[in-house]
Amino acid sequence: MFELATAVLGGLAPLLVAFGLGSLLFRSCGMPAPLLLAAGTALESLILFLLLLTDRFTPAALAAMAAAALLPLPIVRPRPAREPAVAELDRSSRWLFAIVFGAFGILYLIYALGPETEFDALNYHLALPAEYLRLGGFPDRIGFFEVLPQGLEMLYAFSAALGGAGAARLTHFAFLALTPAMFLAVGRRLGLPDSGPFFAAAFYFCAPVVGVAGTSVHNDAPMVFFVLAAFYLLLRWRGEANSRWLIPGGLAAGFCYAVKLPGLIVPGLLVLYLLFARRVRPALIAGLSALPAIAPWMIRAFVLTGNPVAPMMNAWFPNPFFHLSSELELARRFTHGDPSLAQVPLHLALGGPLEGFFGPMLLALPLGLLALRRKNGLLVVAAAAALALPWFLNHGARFLMPGFALMSVALGMALPRSWLWPAVLLHALTCWPQVIPLYARAGAWEFKELPWRAALRLEPEREYLKRAMAEYPVLDLLEKHTRPGERIFAVIGVPKVYARREVLEFWHSAEADRLLDSLKVAAFQARDPFYDVRADWMPAPLRALRFRLPRGEPEEWYIHELDLYDGERRLPPGRGWSLDAWPNPWETPWMLDGNRATRWRTWEPVRAGAFVEVAFDHPQTVSSAVLLAHIPGRAPGIEFHGRDSRGAWRRLAARPEMTRRATEDLRRPAVRALKRAGFRYLLTPVGRSDAGPLGRLIAGHEKEWGLELAAESGGIHLFRIP
């Protein structure tokens, strides 16, 4: 019970601090308590960010922040909120909504108190705060999750400092639990009777995808909380024509970006709406107020990578840390193979391949368009449609939660009052976990076993995870056969928050891409043989050589090794040589590292004029060059250019020769590349997963690869790099 009490107190602590900060900052505005919490959360997150950035994330600093936020509250109390008069709920409706929210609230609380089992939470939303807490600051590592905005993760680090990962889960769940109050505040600002916003809140709250995403540590449910906060404050500005509401409104909208990268659409929509209304000064106030929540994460990403919105938009902001092809592959996985638009409503209503669903009553949502007949109906529907746009980039149902929340408000505006409670009852019944299997399609993202014993700490976390997590054998392997501080390269997802090891997964960064690429080159070379692409010319002193493709190609360009010759003598790479390329100039050293398993590649389709260049510290006599490359069909198009001692470029050879090389064993060189990068272990599956073929080629042939089998379990092999 002590552990449970600690988790509850730890989960509440950052919320109390956020409420205190919001009350001090906006005490005279008369905002409802959830709005004060929203504004204070953005400020608290910024303070915690600065503490981590300066390696000052210590118990003393957290205590000082909490004292500064909470001690003045008994003296300086926030002004009570004044909302428009509305029709109250009748007795039957009050009982209905109390039963619905009570039943689902208790169900959700049990899941929120249980151990985390969802992949994104284990590898991102909880894993990073746990690491920050251990280090007292941000790590030096640059990876996919590490450079994303992490506004909520700042609060989770605070919670975890007091009560562990369970406390962080409760902090996250609190935003879902408080969202019905935000619906009520928005509904009253829209002039609706209380039955309308209560209906919208229940319609949203009971949806299966909302329950799963809101009780596991994803960032979608808190996103809805802050979207509704920004929408409420916009309505308050519209109703009172006072720009002071745009300060917390802009802050809440900006924090949507800090919560989730697609949340940038929220401050964008807010400013565009104000500009469309020809209110330039209010638009400026809202935009500037959003900056404290947006700028820290963009500036950090830019300083670390040169890309302010890393790890995305690498075509606009090329950098050495993330490859464009990996971004495009990720986008393809998010959207490719999903059902046609005609099938989407059924999948979103009944479950399917879209990572979550909203229940059969989703099919009634188009009735919300009838709200267009009412005052403010157009604003609600238009905002819902705009907030659904990120779904077209990622077809997960949870990306529709903000739009679904506002369309629920529109539906509450459109339906007659006599229809609301039967609709809520039907929706609640069809969304109850025991009813869902009667209609949901196989593989739907829904609740698993009710973890009530683990939630009450009657069952040890370890025992529950063994039963509930298919990935648990990975944890056992790492815990028993590796030591803290030893780096592991994983060709499989690893639940990092429980692993407590430094694991680099195969897709998280450019470094991970390169290392996996080397392993694949060694494993599958027979499918893609090497060719020597050679050109000879009259010996001449040159200051630089350039290899260029004049035409664009639909595929990539690869060069494993570059060899230069003066007659029969190979020129060893000099320390004063400099390399350049377009695109991807950062990985050119892999052409001269003497390891044929590594390579330079464009990591994107070849654009006309792509080149690789080597410049000498002093003129070198060169008579030929050999590129060790794949894809022979492109090789004849390579142009060989030289820069003479006067600085002029000239074509050295009309057409290179191409010779296929005999297959060579690159398995040990590929493992040497792993070791050189600082890794002591390789973790790979051997089953039917995407990485299974690679693992099967290694298993049983460890000696040929230069590896040692450390352990295996459940189709997962851990190899030691001696």
Question: Which value, to the nearest 10 degrees, does the dihedral of the CA atoms of residues 710, 715, 716, 718 take?
Answer: 20
**Mean pLDDT (whole number) for 644-660:** 87
Other C-beta atoms closer than 10 Å to the C-beta of 522 total 24
Tell me the pLDDT tens digit for each residue of 666-699: 999 999 999 999 999 999 998 776 677 898 999 9
140 and 18, same domain (yes or no): yes
Residue that is last in its domain, among 437, 454, 483: 437
* Cβ-contact 645, 541 below 8 angstroms: yes
Tell me the pLDDT tens digit for each residue of 245-270: 999 999 999 999 999 999 999 999 99
**Cα–Cα distance measured from residue 284 to residue 512, given in angstroms and rounded to the nearest whole number:** 42
Domain extent, residue 608, equals 530-660
**Mean pLDDT (whole number) for 610-636:** 84
Q: Which of 41-45, 349-353, 675-679, 690-694 has the lowest mean pLDDT?
A: 690-694
Band (84; pLDDT cuts 50, 70, 90): low
- Give the CA distances from residue 566 to residues 76, 160, 644, 650, 658, in Å, rounded to whole numbers and listed in that order: 82, 63, 15, 18, 19
Tell me the pLDDT tens digit for each residue of 389-418: 999 888 889 999 999 999 999 999 999 988
Residue 544: both structure tokens together: 């630089």
Determine the pLDDT at residue 526. 63
Judge whether residue 601 has pLDDT over 90. yes
693 and 645, same domain (yes or no): no
Residue 448: both structure tokens together: 């698993």
**Residue 685 phi, psi (nearest 5):** -85, 165
**Cα–Cα distance measured from residue 691 to residue 324, given in angstroms and rounded to the nearest whole number:** 21
**Cα–Cα distance measured from residue 306 to residue 358, given in angstroms and rounded to the nearest whole number:** 39
Residue that is last in its domain, among 409, 437, 465: 437
Tell me the pLDDT tens digit for each residue of 503-532: 889 888 999 999 999 999 998 876 777 888
Strand ranges inside 530-571, DSSP E:
531-549, 558-559, 561-566, 569-570
Residue 447: both structure tokens together: 């609740």
Q: Minimal CA–CA distance to 598: which of 522, 509, 523, 694?
A: 522
* Cβ-contact 159, 17 below 8 angstroms: no
- Locate all alpha helices (DSSP H) within 31-150, ordered by sequence: 33-53, 59-70, 91-113, 119-120, 127-135
**Cα–Cα distance measured from residue 17 to residue 43, given in angstroms and rounded to the nearest whole number:** 10
Residue 385 lies in a domain: yes
In the numeric block, the tokens 């565009």 are attached to 272
In the numeric block, the tokens 């600002």 are attached to 189
Determine the pLDDT at residue 502. 86
594 and 688, same domain (yes or no): no
123 and 210, same domain (yes or no): yes
**Helix and strand counts by DSSP (H, E) for the chain:** 26, 15
Judge whether residue 236 has pLDDT over 80. yes
* Cβ-contact 358, 207 below 8 angstroms: yes
Question: Which value, to the nearest 10 degrees, does the dihedral of the CA atoms of residues 328, 334, 335, 336 take?
Answer: 80
Q: Minimal CA–CA distance to 54: which of 168, 145, 149, 135?
A: 135
Residue 88 lies in a domain: no
**Mean pLDDT (whole number) for 300-324:** 95
**Cα–Cα distance measured from residue 409 to residue 401, given in angstroms and rounded to the nearest whole number:** 13
Residue that is last in its domain, among 408, 437, 466: 437
Other C-beta atoms closer than 10 Å to the C-beta of 244 total 15
* Cβ-contact 637, 537 below 8 angstroms: no
497 and 555, same domain (yes or no): no
Judge whether residue 85 has pLDDT over 70. no
**Cα–Cα distance measured from residue 487 to residue 494, given in angstroms and rounded to the nearest whole number:** 13
Residue 174 lies in a domain: yes
Determine the pLDDT at residue 434. 92
User: Residue 677: left if φ>0, alpha if ψ -120 to 50, beta else—which one?
Assistant: alpha
309 and 406, same domain (yes or no): yes
- Give the CA distances from residue 35 to residues 177, 233, 398, 447, 469, in Å, rounded to whole numbers and listed in that order: 14, 9, 23, 30, 37
Residue 468 lies in a domain: no
Residue 90 lies in a domain: no
Q: How many domains does the chain have?
A: 3
**Cα–Cα distance measured from residue 518 to residue 491, given in angstroms and rounded to the nearest whole number:** 13
Helix axes 401-414, 377-387, angle to 10 degrees: 160
Residue 715: both structure tokens together: 């189709």
Q: Minimal CA–CA distance to 507: which of 490, 523, 525, 488?
A: 490
389 and 250, same domain (yes or no): yes
652 and 538, same domain (yes or no): yes
Determine the pLDDT at residue 2. 73
Determine the pLDDT at residue 87. 61
Band (383; pLDDT cuts 50, 70, 90): very high
355 and 490, same domain (yes or no): no
71 and 177, same domain (yes or no): yes
602 and 675, same domain (yes or no): no
Residue 87 lies in a domain: no
Judge whether residue 183 has pLDDT over 80. yes
Residue 448 lies in a domain: no
Task: Give 172: exposed, middle or buried? Use CB within 10 Å, 0-12, 13-18, 19+.
Answer: buried
181 and 119, same domain (yes or no): yes
Band (86; pLDDT cuts 50, 70, 90): low
Judge whether residue 635 has pLDDT over 60. no
Tell me the pLDDT tens digit for each residue of 200-231: 999 999 999 999 999 999 999 999 999 999 99
Percent of the chain topping pLDDT 90: 63
- Give the DSSP letter of residue 116: P
Residue 513 lies in a domain: yes
